[in-house]
């Protein structure tokens, strides 16, 4: 999906919501547990109930790998169920030497090879350019590079000043913008770090930011939008637990929809206020 197509979807749906599909068996509604593949049944119901309210879905691979081959199969079925107008993100946080990153790119982008063709994959920048570039050699596919993450540990290394000037997360954006452009690279910027959005937006004025940390992790949508929005929206705001676990009964999907609707409506107001729709 191109940036223009993504912005079109945002305008059409009046939403820049990304829903995190991070299911754990222990948290699923009980009536699903007898299904052959409860994880897929759950995802399918959540997708059916929310796909008109969000532009993106983001399964985190950890939640599938935890169940071994069976889990990987649930991930593959979930990807196959996504309709083509959705922006699909494999939240995999991969990254390895060039030859190996090429294999990871095949795993997530090359449907013929792996059975999955996500639009985007999250990548960790620690190993540098040749760990990222192989993901950029796929047309209309995206790298979403970790910049400033939403967790407490982000202060351990990401916030350190490097070479006496930039912080490491700023250096990640500065350097990686030479490896690809804003049609290929997005950045992960945590909603819990709203005060960093102004400087990050200045560093990457045209890039999309994928923003986790709204909801369960405590970030505020209004704060993120204040400096985060740009002329093509430029934000995909992720919510997982708050939406997918809104209810635990047989009406869990309707409860999830109600929660997603609240976020979409808040986003619609914001898009209007910023003259984006």
Catalytic residues: 93
Q: Which residues pair with 185 in a beta bridge?
A: 143
| 132 is an interface residue for a second copy by CB under 8 A | yes
Strands 185-189 and 142-148, bridge-based pairing: parallel
Q: How far apart are CA 177 and CA 193, in angstroms?
A: 21
- Choices 30-38, 160-168, 249-257, 261-269 (CB under 8 A): range interacting with a second copy: 160-168
- Closest approach, Cβ 116 to a second copy, in A, equals 7
How many residues sit in the footprint of a second copy (CB under 8 A)?
Answer: 62
CA–CA dist 273, 184 (Å, integer):
28
Strand segments, DSSP code E, in 24-119 are 56-59, 87-94
Cα 44 versus chain centre, distance: 18
Cβ at position 265, least distance to a second copy in Å = 27
Q: Provide the 8-state DSSP code for 115.
A: S
Nearest to 101 by CA among 73, 74, 126: 126
Contact 139/180 with Cβ under 8 angstroms? no
Q: Residue 230 Cβ, how far from a second copy at the closest point, in Å?
A: 25
- State which residue, 122 or 264, has the beta carbon closest to a second copy: 122
Of 234, 190, 230, which is closest to residue 3 (Cα–Cα)? 234
The correct pick among 26, 34, 68, 275 for binding a second copy (CB under 8 A) is 68
Minimum CB distance to a second copy smaller for 115 or for 247 = 115
Q: Give least dist CB 16 to a second copy, A.
A: 21
User: Is the Cβ of residue 76 or residue 182 nearer to a second copy in the bound state?
Assistant: 76
* Contact stretch for a second copy (CB under 8 A) within 121-129, 231-239, 245-253, 267-275: 121-129
**Tokens (6 digits) for 173:** 């954006």
- Minimal distance in Å, beta carbon 129 to a second copy? 4
Contact 76, 115 (CB under 8 A): yes
Judged by CB under 8 A, does residue 128 bind a second copy?
yes
- State which of residues 9, 15, 43, 158 lies at the interface with a second copy (CB under 8 A): 158
Q: Which of residues 193-222 bind a second copy (CB under 8 A)?
A: 217
* Residue 56 near residue 144 (C-beta atoms within 8 A): no
Q: Report the C-alpha gap between 199 and 80 in whole angstroms.
A: 38
Among 8, 11, 67, 223, binds a second copy (CB under 8 A): 67
User: Cβ of residue 224: shortest distance to a second copy, in angstroms?
Assistant: 17
Please, what is the angle between helix 252-273 and helix 3-13, to 10°? 110
Residues at the contact surface with a second copy, assessed by CB under 8 A: 22, 24, 60, 62-63, 65-69, 71-73, 76, 93-98, 100-101, 103-104, 106-108, 110, 113-116, 124-132, 146, 149-158, 160-164, 168, 171-172, 175, 217
């Amino acid at each position: 999906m191109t940036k223009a197509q993504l912005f079109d979807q945002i305008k059409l749906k009046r939403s820049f919501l990304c829903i995190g599909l991070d299911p754990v068996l222990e948290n699923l509604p009980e009536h699903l547990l007898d299904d052959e593949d409860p994880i897929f049944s759950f995802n399918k119901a959540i997708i059916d109930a929310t796909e008109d309210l969000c532009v993106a879905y983001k399964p985190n691979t950890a939640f599938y790998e935890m169940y071994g081959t069976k889990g990987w199969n649930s991930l593959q079925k979930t990807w196959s169920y996504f309709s083509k107008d959705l922006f699909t993100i494999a939240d995999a946080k991969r990254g390895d030497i060039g030859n190996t990153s090429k294999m990871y790119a095949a795993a997530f982008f090359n449907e013929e090879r792996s059975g999955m063709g996500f639009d985007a994959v999250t990548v960790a920048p620690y190993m540098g350019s040749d760990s990222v570039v192989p993901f950029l050699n796929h047309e209309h596919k995206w790298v979403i590079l970790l910049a400033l993450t939403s967790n407490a540990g982000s202060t351990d290394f990401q916030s350190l000043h490097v070479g006496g000037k930039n912080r490491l997360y700023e250096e990640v954006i500065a350097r990686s913008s030479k490896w690809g452009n804003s049609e290929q690279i997005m950045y992960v910027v945590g909603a819990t770090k709203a005060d960093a959005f102004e400087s990050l937006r200045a560093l990457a004025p045209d890039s999309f930011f994928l923003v986790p940390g709204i909801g369960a992790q405590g970030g505020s949508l209004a704060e993120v939008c204040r400096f985060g929005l740009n002329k093509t929206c430029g934000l995909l705001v992720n919510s997982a637990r708050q939406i997918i676990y809104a209810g635990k009964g047989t009406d869990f999907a309707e409860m999830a929809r109600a929660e997603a609707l609240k976020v979409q409506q808040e986003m619609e107001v914001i898009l209007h206020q910023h003259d984006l729709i």
